[in-house]
């Protein structure tokens, strides 16, 4: 049994119930099954073979759910571009994964075969109005067959390329197999604090091309409705919770921070909410307490990565309640190992450290990814003897609760998105006034961590912070760009003459209990 079977079964069980709500659109389970079958057949009729990549770039739309279901049915590979990618980043990603088809939502139809990196694409498909050179999505479905494809992907077959920034500054693609995705579904369904039921409604606020999208199949499996939001506006979200009786939601901590700052929260009707799950970045214990009191005793936290496909640990709602009542230090934990996952904290030799000691977090399980696409050397550095080395430094207590304390690598997590300093620094060095640049994370009450650049200018140059920030936003996604810039006469170096990033970072983290936020 696979995802195609589960959707057929859902269409039989809950055919007339809504699978997707988006603005004024309703897609029932029967329609989702039928439309995704048509899309699968349409893609195969274009000449695609199982294993071929299909790229997509769009804000949240029902068609993205249909597409994922269709790709599972056809044995094809989803290569989802972040809707916040710049044109240069999109070209880099597409040029690396060489998809044969590109599907784009409104606002993302500016690509053509002549666009740098897009030469592999044979068919361009537009959701909504189709410009010249594009096939209209609805017309494609209307002409497609209705018989489900006779294709059953093997567990090791590639299902998804999940893109994120890399430590070298290059965007990397994590290879998630069909077996990885199925293991993730099992883990999420079995590990839910309050399992979803037919009629429940899950709000998907963040891009479903990324972390939020991992919840789509588990909730469809249980007969719930996916409520898609194109963007997060706190007041609008609170109103929709009351209007649509939303029961479940996933947020990154920055969204919770914004909710807590929203004036209408005090009057909001949140009585329908059963679970508010959060993750993708650490959250300050003080904010967790405030959310527990003001939003409700419904919080559940998860820790995971693109490389783990799904959640690795979970701090359940019960764990939150016990921490607040009896173990306040556990509010700084990201929980205990979830489901089938094995978790260890190890030293430089790969040996497990004692309780309370700090080491690198490594994980093993059926949902650990198959490596990085076209990056065998990086894969060998990351997966060692079957264990995924996360680069996160952690400790574990006597009860098995895991605490992230720092990052072995220099990655920044801002608003739930991964940012690597080297990529931002490389962009800053393209500015003629910049002599040296060091990019670090600093604590941020809203985003958890924000990106700061500490810069030395060339003699006689006078670039301002605003100019350097604008320079970056023209070239890399806005969430990667510095939110602030400090200027110094000289940056510290280590004995090898390299920039001493930890020394630069230290002054901004003095007095902070942990070096992730």
Rounded Cα–Cα distance for residues 174 and 160 (Å): 8
């068919």: which residue's tokens? 123
Asked if 372 contacts 172 with a C-beta cutoff of 8 angstroms, the reply is yes
- Residue 497, pLDDT score: 61
pLDDT per position as a tens digit, 323-372: 999 999 999 899 999 988 999 999 999 999 999 999 999 999 999 999 99
Residue 487: half-sphere exposure toward Cβ, Cα within 13 Å: 15
Compute φ and ψ for 502, nearest 5 degrees: -65, -35
**Percent of the chain at pLDDT above 90?**
76
> How much is the pTM?
0.85
Report the percent of the chain where pLDDT is more than 70.
98
Tens-place pLDDT, residues 67-124 = 999 999 999 999 999 998 889 899 999 999 999 999 999 999 999 999 999 999 999 9
Tell me what pLDDT residue 84 has: 87
For the cut 70, the answer to whether the pLDDT of residue 498 exceeds it is no
d(CA 97, CA 121): 11
Q: Which of 272, 243, 276 is nearest to 259 (CA)?
A: 276
pLDDT of residue 167: 54
Number of neighbouring beta carbons within 10 Å of residue 349:
5
Hey, what domains does the chain have and what are their CATH numbers? 28-153 (3.40.50.980), 412-509 (3.30.300.30)
Tell me which of 435 and 515 has the higher pLDDT: 435
Lowest-pLDDT range, 23-27, 245-249, 392-396?
392-396
Whether 17 shows a pLDDT value over 60: the answer reads: yes
In this structure, what are the phi and psi dihedrals at residue 485, rounded to the nearest 5 degrees? -135, 130
């Amino acid at each position: 049994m696979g995802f195609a079977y589960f959707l057929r079964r859902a269409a039989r069980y809950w055919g007339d119930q809504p699978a997707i709500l988006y603005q004024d659109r309703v897609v029932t389970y029967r329609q989702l099954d039928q439309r995704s079958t048509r899309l699968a057949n349409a893609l195969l009729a274009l000449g695609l073979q199982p294993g071929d990549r299909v790229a997509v770039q769009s804000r949240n739309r029902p068609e993205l759910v249909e597409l994922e279901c269709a790709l599972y049915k056809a044995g094809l590979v989803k290569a989802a571009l972040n809707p916040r990618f710049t044109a240069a980043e999109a070209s880099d990603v597409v040029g690396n994964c060489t998809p044969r088809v590109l599907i784009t939502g409104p606002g993302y139809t500016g690509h053509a075969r002549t666009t740098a990196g897009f030469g592999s694409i044979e068919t361009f498909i537009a959701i909504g109005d189709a410009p010249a050179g594009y096939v209209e999505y609805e017309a494609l479905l209307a002409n497609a067959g209705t018989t489900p494809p006779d294709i059953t992907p093997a567990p090791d077959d590639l299902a998804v390329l999940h893109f994120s920034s890399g430590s070298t500054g290059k965007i990397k693609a994590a290879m998630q197999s069909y077996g990885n995705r199925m293991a993730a579904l099992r883990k999420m369904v079995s590990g839910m604090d309050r399992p979803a039921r037919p009629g429940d409604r899950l709000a998907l606020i963040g891009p479903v091309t990324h972390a939020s999208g991992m919840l789509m199949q588990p909730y469809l499996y249980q007969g719930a409705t996916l409520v898609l939001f194109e963007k997060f506006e706190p007041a609008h979200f609170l109103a929709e919770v009351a209007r649509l009786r939303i029961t479940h939601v996933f947020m990154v901590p920055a969204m919770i921070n914004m909710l807590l700052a929203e004036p209408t929260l005090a009057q909001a009707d949140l009585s329908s909410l059963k679970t508010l799950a959060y993750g993708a970045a650490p959250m300050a214990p003080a904010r967790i307490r405030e959310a527990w009191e003001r939003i409700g005793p419904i919080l559940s936290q998860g820790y995971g990565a693109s490389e783990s496909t799904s959640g690795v640990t979970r701090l359940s709602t019960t764990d939150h309640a016990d921490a607040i009542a009896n173990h306040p230090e556990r509010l700084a934990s990201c929980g205990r190992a979830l489901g089938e996952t094995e978790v260890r904290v190890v030293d430089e030799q790969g040996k497990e450290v004692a309780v309370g000691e700090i080491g690198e977090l490594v994980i093993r399980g059926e949902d650990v990814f198959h490596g990085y696409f076209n990056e065998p050397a990086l894969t060998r550095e990351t997966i060692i003897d079957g264990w995924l080395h996360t680069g996160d430094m952690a400790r574990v207590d006597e009860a098995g609760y895991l605490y992230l304390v720092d990052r072995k690598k220099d990655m920044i997590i801002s608003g739930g998105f991964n940012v690597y300093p080297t990529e931002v620094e490389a962009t800053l060095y393209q500015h003629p006034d910049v002599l040296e640049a060091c990019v670090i994370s600093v604590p941020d009450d809203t985003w958890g961590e924000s990106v700061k650049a500490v810069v030395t200018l060339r003699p006689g140059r006078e670039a301002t912070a605003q100019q350097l920030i604008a320079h970056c936003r023209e070239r890399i996604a806005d969430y990667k760009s510095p939110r602030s810039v400090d200027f110094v006469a000289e940056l510290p170096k280590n004995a090898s003459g390299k920039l001493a990033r930890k020394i630069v970072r230290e002054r901004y983290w003095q007095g902070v209990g942990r070096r992730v936020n």
